[in-house]
Chain A
């Protein structure tokens, strides 16, 4: 059989093949890699990035970018932990509202969504480039997190809440379940709904989409809102895993998230890409991180290697486009 590198099937599953080779390579060098403990651990670790990155994928598909996801994660995590721990008290009205675990999580997701909607509002209302608008939010949300936490972690959030990050259901870690559900929801959105089709259309040709009667601003608003909410879900996972909300939680997570999207084959100029690609991208980054630790590579070299992998992914992608 004659299979060339340009065969469509190989091209389509390029990132999957890369992941396979990566796993093979690491397991040859370290016998700790291919153990179930380690693999579940890897999946648990990447579940946060997966949640953020599927939201980011929608933004990037629309030819946008969201640099604020890490800070949004931080603020919603802090609010989640704060509400759980001390509730809301309105002294003037002599009122105290306590929060259940679910209540605190929903509140966190709402905060994330609101921050995202604010991003979308600035971008659509004032025609500000997404890069700038979300860069501003990156600083604002981080500042608010510091103000809210006063720079001190909020810890000891109770066993019920801890279960979300550390528990197991049917032999699978809870964070993996949660990220899987998020992925399925977003895959459904992109493939089966008009909303998803509009995202691709806007990213592919915004003017044609506008002329087709699509309400561009509404869609953009919704997408940034979803991205914020996904970041908040990531925030809940991180907080629960540590049983503590750190003031600097999520710092520079936007970079890993954009890396996952790009490695997964989504074009930064919009219109092309898939959510499943992003998931594979996130897994590649996770496996790479894990492998480098197992192989005792210094953290400084880890960063260098990660950067090189991102570059390679994008260069290969560019070359594929040229061959078309």
Chain B
């Protein structure tokens, strides 16, 4: 049995896990449920030895363990099947399977024959019908997943963690996976299963643990609960921020997106976004909600001109047709895009605040006006309450919340008509969050139009005048602020 006692984990400024407790039983499927940001991934990373610093205890069959590396967790019999698969495409399935634990001959050379024979035995068991010599890049996603499972079996793992294993699988592949899971149960393995798909959980899981905002909310047997009940537990937090209730009326559409489609660059027959059309009105905050993988980020990226080769769409801004082949076009047409990841997309961390803020506003052949840039940076530091000794501080020395404010400042400095924000408050503390909420409201009150993508329901409810819900690359529902609530949003967002 795998047990956690009062596990807490903190990142600078944010408590991600707060005294989490659970018990996972052998010969059962133990489901973990929770919204995005509830702490599931952090928990998995602690269990697999990726995060080594935390408070509390993990007990494996009654004994306290503390993994100081991924290797140690593996040796203790814990295997994980990641949502994004971790195989090396250029190697064949056997080479992947035995990576790091190759079987060798008496002379210390690789014993390919023996490894391939063993691979075949495991493949037969899990009904993976590929030759052990097949390159991984030739496999379908479902088959790759089975290779990952084979890897877990090969390591004699007693506890197998699965992070949304079915999110990319076809129905047939899902059935096969469920069959394998049933078989693993008979071998007394402990399965820990994360999924957003309720019907699936009710089919295969015996027990559940609900996490919310890093706390264990409830745990029990699947038999004794209902879908409604679980959803309520997942979202039913005390709402810290009040929901928007005022009925604002907006007249002029500033942005119209028609028939937007985006093709998956890795698999041309699949669409990441399908037939998306919507309008954004002047001064409106339009929330876009969806679970991981729903296509929210891709939607904003496409509008901003980041996928010119794979997308097709019509955009009208202020009634006139716009063509966005690169971000530069979109910026010139009054769009700004506060991206999800401030470190890799938002900021040049090695440059100072002032240089980052002015980056969107320089004329390519122009001279720098440091005095003006610094003055403008100072204005934003004051206005957005960026905590920093000066405008010449390097962005890498700022906290997450303050970095996020610099990203905002950088885009506000372009004087946009339309501000697109992707998870504007991810990973920042509650105070900075509130400041950013107030700022967003203020901007909208001053007639800026805002597209707000978020996976946090309270955030969407608190800010949006209207909410679009996305799932599997499509817009699934649209609600006015007054008619929206947590249940409705989450229900529309769950994949079918």
Binding site for B on A (CB under 8 A): 191-198, 200-201, 204-205, 207-215, 218, 271-272
Contact = CB atoms under 8 A, between A and B. Distances in A.
B362 A271 contact: no
B332 to A, nearest CB: 8
A213 B328 contact: yes
A214 B359 contact: yes
Interface stretch (B173-181, B203-211, B341-349): B341-349
B339 A211 contact: yes
Contacts, number: 82
B368 A212 contact: no
Contacts of A205: 344-345, 347-350
B368 A193 contact: yes
20 contacts: A191-B368, A194-B362, A194-B367, A197-B358, A197-B362, A204-B348, A205-B345, A205-B348, A205-B349, A205-B350, A207-B345, A208-B345, A208-B359, A211-B304, A211-B306, A211-B339, A213-B327, A214-B328, A215-B328, A272-B350
B337 interface: yes
B62 interface: no
B337 A211 contact: yes
Given A194-B362, A195-B364, 7 more contacts: A196-B368, A197-B368, A201-B351, A205-B345, A212-B359, A213-B332, A271-B350
Nearest to B328: A213
Contacts of B326: 210, 213
Contacts of B355: 197, 200-201
Nearest to B338: A211
Contact of A192 (B365, B367, B410): B367
Contacts of B351: 200-201, 204, 271
A194 B363 contact: yes
B364 A204 contact: no
Contacts of A213: 326-328, 330-332, 360
Interface string B245-266: 0000000000000000000000
B327 A211 contact: yes
Interface of A is mostly: helix
Contacts of A200: 348, 350-351, 355
A66 B304 CA distance: 33
Contact of A194 (B339, B345, B364): B364
Nearest to B346: A208
B366 interface: yes
Nearest to A215: B328
Contacts of A210: 326-327
Contacts of B330: 213
A213 B333 CA distance: 12
Nearest to A201: B348
Contacts of A197: 355, 358-359, 362, 368
Interface of B: 304, 306, 326-328, 330-332, 337, 339, 344-351, 355, 358-360, 362-368, 410
A193 B369 CA distance: 9
A198 B364 contact: yes
B348 A209 contact: yes
Contacts of A218: 364
A120 to B, nearest CB: 16
A213 B349 CA distance: 17
A198 B359 CA distance: 8
Q: Which 9 A-B pairs have the closest CB atoms?
A: A194-B362, A204-B348, A213-B328, A213-B331, A205-B348, A204-B350, A212-B360, A212-B359, A271-B350
A212 B327 contact: yes
A215 B364 contact: yes
A201 B346 CA distance: 11
B266 to A, nearest CB: 17
B349 A194 contact: no
A207 B341 CA distance: 11
A193 B330 CA distance: 24
Contacts of B337: 211
Nearest to A211: B327
Of residues B339, B348, B366, which shows the largest number of chain A Cβ atoms within 10 Å of its Cβ? B348
Contacts of B348: 200-201, 204-205, 208-209, 271
A115 to B, nearest CB: 24
A233 to B, nearest CB: 22
B365 A195 contact: yes
Contacts of A201: 348, 351, 355, 359
B368 A192 contact: yes
B462 to A, nearest CB: 27
B368 A207 contact: no
A208 B362 contact: no
Nearest to A206: B348
Contact of B345 (A211, A215, A271, A272): A211
Contacts of B306: 211
A158 B257 CA distance: 69
Of residues A196, A213, A215, which shows the largest number of chain B Cβ atoms within 10 Å of its Cβ? A213
Contact of A208 (B331, B344, B368): B344
A198 B368 CA distance: 11
Nearest to A188: B367
A194 B358 CA distance: 10
A272 B348 CA distance: 11
A162 B319 CA distance: 66
Contacts of B358: 197
Contacts of A271: 348, 350-351
Of residues A197, A208, A211, which shows the largest number of chain B Cβ atoms within 10 Å of its Cβ? A211
Contacts of A215: 328, 364
Contacts of B349: 204-205
A319 B20 CA distance: 39
B49 to A, nearest CB: 24
Nearest to B306: A211
Contacts of B365: 193-195
Contacts of A214: 328, 359
Contacts of A194: 362-368
